[in-house]
Chains A and B, each alone.
Chain A
C-alpha cells in the first residue's frame, strides 16, 4: 500500500511538524497533489503525494512531528478508510443540504484528522490504541511511558510487562554511565537550599572531611540538580488556620482506643491535599515531552527523613482512603523507610509530594519539585498567632504552607485555586471525614 512519507525539504531538515492537513481520510488524492502543509526548521512548505489513491489513514496528526522518511499517511483503494468517516456520516444525513459540498471537495481546511500520534511501528487495535496488556498500560501510566515508543514482544506483538521493564531498565542505564542511579529511589529535598553541584572532586583541604556519596545520595544530588535546572519553579504561599483541625484531631485520637492508630497533622494534610487534587488535575499531573500528563490516581509521596538521606514513599489513592487508613499506611511506610525496607512498589507512582518540617518548628520554607511531578507542598509549623477577628486579637493556630510549582504546566491562578481548596478543607475539617 503506498504511503506518504515526510519528505526532506531542506538540507538541514531532520523532522517536520504537520501544520495542516488539506485532505482527510476518504478523500481522493491525485499524483502530485498537495496533501498537507509542514513546518520545517527553515520554513512552512507543502507536501505533495507521489502516488494516486484514496487517503485511508492519517498517521501524523496536525501539530505532531515526524522524522524525515517516516510515513505520515496511508493511501489505498478506499476500502480501509479509518477514523472520522463513521462520525461524519450521520451528520451528513441530518443536514442533507450540505451533502454535495463535502464530497470530493479538494480542500478541507475545517476538518482535523482524528487519528493522533506518530510512528506506525506497533501493533494497533482498530487503527487506534497500541496493543498492550492491561498491566503494561497501567505501568506505562505510572511511569509516564509513551507506549508508542515500545515494541511489543508478547503474543501478536502485544506490549507486556517484560517490555515495560526492559524499557525502564534501558532508561535507567542510559544516564547510569555518568552516574549510577536506580530510578526507584526518588527523593526530594525538603528545602530549597541549592543541592551540591556535581563537579570535579577537588583535593581535600586539611580542615575538611571528604565523604563518598552513597547511591541514594548520588541520586538525590542528580535528580534535584536536574529538577532545579530544568523545571521552572515558582512558589505560592498561604496561611492556614488549623485551630479547628487540631481540635478535631484531638477528639479523634482521644477516641482511638487502645491499639488504635493516632492520626497525625500530616495525615490530615495528606487527606486535604488528596481531596483538593481531585479538583485540580494539573497539580496532580506533570509536564513531559511537550505534553501534559494528567493522572487518574491521586498518589501522595511523603518526604521521610532517614539517616544519610531522604526518601519519598507513596500513599496510593489517598483521596479514596479514610483518615485512619492513611494514618496506618503512613506510619507503616515511615517505619519501613527508617528500617531501610521500602520496596520499589512503595516508592513508585507518586503524583504529588508533601514535605513537612512542622515538627521542627520551621516557620517557612520552599521545597524542590520531585519530577515528573508538577508540585510539592512544603509545610511549616502551626504556631499560636494573634489574628484579628471582628477587630479583636484572637489566638489561633496558624500554619504556613508553600507550594512549589512547575510553571510549564501550572500557572499562578491554578495553584492559588488549589491552595484555596486545601485551606477550605483544613479549615472545615469535617470535610476530611467525607
Chain B
C-alpha cells in the first residue's frame, strides 16, 4: 500500500498492463515523446518503444477509428483524448462504431477499447476546454462510463477497463491528478457498476462521482468534526452501469439526497439519479432530491467569473444547510 498521486497511479497501472499483455498499446496526441500533456504516460515510450506507445496526428476521428479497428482485430488499445472537450470530433466512431459493432454484427467481435480523457474546469482554460460531457456517453447503451475519485479507484478501474471487452470511457479530472491517496499493490481491480459508500452517515446522502465525490467527502468529514450533520457520501465511480441499489438503499436510510455534479444541471447525471430515487424510494423520501451542479453557461475564462459558474464546496454546504433535517440521527 503506497501513498501516491492520482497521476502516478494511472502511470503505474498503464505500465503494469503494458507488461502484462502484449496486446495492450497506447495511442494519443503527444503521449510519447512529450510524455502526455498531463504526463500520465511519462517514461512509457522509452520503456516500451514506439510500437506500443503511438503518437498520433491531431485527428481524433482518425485515431479513434483506428483504435476501434484494432480492437476488433484483437488488440486492446488505450487511447488518450488530450481533454474531454476534443472527444466531440470522434463522436461518430464512439457512438455508431465502438458502441454498436458487437451488437450489430451478431457478436462476431467485441471492441475492447479504452478511451482515457480528463475533464473538469477550474484551470482557467475557458469555455471550450473545461467541460464535463460524461452524460453524453452515460446515455449510450453499449458503452461503459467510469469516473474514479481517488488514486486507488483510478488504478482498480483502469485495470478493469483495459481487461473489459466493452468500449470504456474512462473519465479523469484535471483537478484530481495531483491528489494523493494510498493505493493497493499488485493486481488490484475495482468492478464496474459498484458504487462505494465513501463515508457512512444518517442525516442525508450526497451522491457524487469524480472530483466532486472527493470534495463531498471532505465536506462530510468536516461536518462530522464540527459535530453538525452526519452525511453519507455515495461515490458512484461507475456511471454506466449505474449501481442503483446502493443509491436507493442509502436514500432509504437517510430520507434525503443531494446529487453533487460538475456538469450542467439540466439533463445531467443528477436528473437520472433523482428519477431513480423517486422511482425506487419514493415512500422513503422526506424532501425533494436536490441537484447541486454548474451554472448553465459556457465556462468563462476570467477567474472570478469561472469561480462563480463552477459548483463547489460552498454550494454543497448551502444545499446541505437547506436540506438537512432539524433532528439529528
- Contacts from A to B (Cβ < 8 Å): 133-138, 153-155, 160-162, 165-166
The 10 closest A-B CB pairs, nearest first, are A135-B286, A162-B326, A133-B286, A161-B286, A138-B283, A162-B327, A135-B255, A134-B285, A134-B283, A160-B286
B277 → chain A, closest Cβ, in Å? 11
Instruction: Give the residue name and chain of the A residue nearest to B326 (CB).
Output: A162
Q: Decide if B127 is an interface residue (CB 8 Å cutoff).
A: no
| Closest CB in chain B relative to A152 CB, distance in Å | 11
| Residues in B whose Cβ lies below 8 Å from that of A153 | 326
- A160-B325, A161-B327 known, 5 other contacts, Cβ within 8 Å: A133-B255, A135-B255, A138-B283, A138-B284, A162-B327
Q: Tell whether B38 is near chain A: CB-to-CB under 8 Å.
A: no
Whether, in the assembled complex, B282 has its beta carbon less than 8 Å from a beta carbon of chain A, the answer is yes
Question: How far, in angstroms, from A201 to B273 measured CA to CA in the complex?
Answer: 60
Which residues from chain B contact A160 at a C-beta distance below 8 Å?
A: 286-287, 325
B residues in contact with A165, CB < 8 Å: 327
Which residues from A are CB-within-8-Å of B327? 161-162, 165-166
Q: Give A136 to B287 CA distance when docked, in angstroms.
A: 10
Bound Cα distance A71, B138 (Å) = 55
Shortest Cβ distance from residue B257 to the other chain A in the assembled complex, whole angstroms: 12
List chain B residues, Cβ under 8 A from A155: 287
Instruction: With both chains docked as a complex, state the minimum distance between the C-beta of A378 and any C-beta of chain B, in angstroms.
Output: 33
| Smallest Cβ-Cβ distance to A137: which chain B residue | B283
Q: Which of B216-233 contact A (CB under 8 A)?
A: none
Query: Which A residues lie within 8 Å of B285 (CB)?
Result: 133-135
Known contacts being A161-B325, A162-B326, is A154 close to B287, with CB within 8 Å?
yes
What string of 1s and 0s marks CB contacts (under 8 Å) between B253-281 and chain A?
00100000000000000000000000000
Residue of B nearest to A161 (CB): B286
B284 pairs with A134, CB closer than 8 A: yes
Q: Can you offer 26 A-B residue contacts whose CB atoms are under 8 A?
A: A133-B287, A134-B282, A134-B283, A134-B284, A134-B285, A134-B286, A135-B255, A135-B283, A135-B285, A135-B286, A136-B286, A137-B283, A138-B283, A138-B284, A153-B326, A160-B286, A160-B287, A160-B325, A161-B255, A161-B286, A161-B325, A161-B327, A162-B325, A162-B327, A165-B327, A166-B327
User: What is the interface of chain A mostly: helix, strand, loop, or mixed?
Assistant: helix
* CB 8 Å contact bits of B284-311 with A (1 = contact, 0 = none): 1111000000000000000000000000
Closest to A153 in B: B326
Tell me whether B284 and A135 are in contact (CB under 8 A).
yes
Tell me, in angstroms, the Cα distance from A160 to B286 when the chains sit together.
6
Tally of B interface residues using CB under 8 Å: 10
Q: How many Å lie between the Cα of A429 and that of B284 in the bound state? A: 35
- Cα A401 to Cα B285 with chains together (Å): 41
Residue with the highest number of chain B CB atoms closer than 10 Å, among A135, A162, A165: A135
Q: Which residues of A contact B287 (CB under 8 A)?
A: 133, 154-155, 160
- With both chains docked as a complex, state the minimum distance between the C-beta of B254 and any C-beta of chain A, in angstroms: 10
Cβ–Cβ < 8 Å partners of B325 in chain A? 160-162
Expressed in whole angstroms, the minimum distance between the Cβ of A31 and any Cβ of chain B is 45
Residues on the A chain within 8 Å of B282, using CB: 134
List B contacts of A161 (CB < 8 A).
255, 286, 325, 327
Q: Which residue of B has the minimal Cβ distance to A135?
A: B286
* Docked pose: A155 CA to B285 CA in angstroms: 14
- Taken together as a complex, chains A and B put the C-alpha atoms of A135 and B327 apart, in Å, by 15
Q: B27 to chain A: closest CB distance in Å? A: 50
Residues of A within 8 A of B283 (CB): 134-135, 137-138
Measured CA separation A166–B283 after assembly (Å): 20
The smallest C-beta distance from A151 to any residue of chain B, in angstroms, reads 13
Residue of B nearest to A164 (CB): B286
For A135, the chain B residues whose CB sits under 8 A away are 255, 283-286
Chain A residues within 8 Å of B255, by CB: 133, 135, 161
The chain A residue with its CB closest to the CB of B325 is: A162
**What's the minimum C-beta distance from A224 to chain B, rounded to whole angstroms?**
31
Complex CA–CA separation, A160 to B255 (angstroms): 10
Instruction: Kindly report which residue of chain A lies nearest to residue B322, judged by CB atoms.
Output: A155
Residue of B nearest to A136 (CB): B286
CB distance from B250 to the nearest CB of A (A): 14
> Which of chain A's residues have a CB closer than 8 A to the CB of B326?
153, 162
CA A17 – CA B284 in complex, angstroms?
A: 37
The CA of A154 and the CA of B255, in the complex, are separated in Å by: 13
Complex interface residues of chain B between 158 and 196 (CB less than 8 A to chain A): none
Chain B hits for A134, CB < 8 A: 282-286
Docked Cα-Cα span, A162 to B284, in Å, equals 13
State the CA gap A154–B282 with chains docked (Å).
17
A154, B287: Cα distance in complex, Å: 8
The docked-state distance in angstroms from the alpha carbon of A166 to that of B325 is 12
Residues of B within 8 A of A162 (CB): 325-327
A154 to B283, CA, bound (A): 17
Residues of chain B contacted by A136 (CB below 8 angstroms): 286
Q: For residue B285, which residue of chain A has the nearest CB?
A: A134
Give, as a whole number of angstroms, the nearest-CB distance from A345 to chain B.
Answer: 10
Complex CA distance for A165 and B327, rounded to whole angstroms: 9
- Nearest B residue to A159 via CB reads B286
- Closest A residue, CB atoms, query B323: A155
- The distance in angstroms between the C-alpha atoms of A136 and B282, with both chains bound, is 11
CB distance from A382 to the nearest CB of B (A): 39
In the docked arrangement, what's the CA distance between A155 and B286, Å? 11
Q: How far is the CA of A137 from the CA of B327 in the complex (A)?
A: 18
Q: How far is the CA of A385 from the CA of B81 in the complex (A)?
A: 81
